[in-house]
Amino acid sequence: MSKSEPVKLVAANKKAYHDYFVEEKYEAGLALHGTEVKSLRLGKCSVKEAFIRIENGEVFTYGMHISPYEMGNIFNKDPMRPKKLLLHKSEILKLNTKVKEKGYTLVPLEVYFKEGRAKLQFGLCKGKKLYDKREDMAKKDLKRELEREFKGAKLK
């Protein structure tokens, strides 16, 4: 391929950045069936309530909802079925040791198409406490106010 295809975002999990500190990001392929891919191309996916587990040396995402393809028939799969993530064995072992540490979890961040293939970006995250969330919200509010004031001063 001489020309790289742009990344097409399908779904994002904004809630993850509110609830967790994202320490590292990883990219994995998704093992999907035909009608699921077609549904993804139409943008019918949600990762808001999804989470990732490592079981028997394999990585699965649970709670990721891919709506059934409308033009599909008997080939449509259960929208909430666990989806396998495609990672190298060394990455899985590395992630497994980190997840066993206290407080770490794997959280899906984005689903997108890269060079025609469905990909899932997930993060190695640590949960935020309530005071961390409040602190982040205060910072965002302050930044928003400053931008408003700056924009107002620019218009005058």
Domains and CATH numbers, the chain: 8-128 (2.40.280.10)
Amino acid symbol at 96:
N
Blockwise average pLDDT, block size 10, the chain, 156 residues: 67 82 88 84 85 89 85 74 89 88 85 88 83 81 83 67
What pLDDT score does 88 carry? 92
CA distance 56 to 39: 29
What pLDDT score does 57 carry? 86
What pLDDT score does 1 carry? 44
Q: Is this structure's pTM higher than 0.75?
A: no
What pLDDT score does 155 carry? 63
Query: CA 60 → CA 4, 25, 81, 143, distances in Å?
Result: 29, 16, 10, 38
CA distance 28 to 96: 15
What pLDDT score does 89 carry? 92
Give start and end residues of each alpha helix (H) in the chain.
Answer: 14-19, 34-41, 89-100, 130-155
Dihedral sign computed on CA atoms, order 73, 78, 79, 81: negative
Angle at 22 between CA 26 and CA 33, to 5 degrees: 40
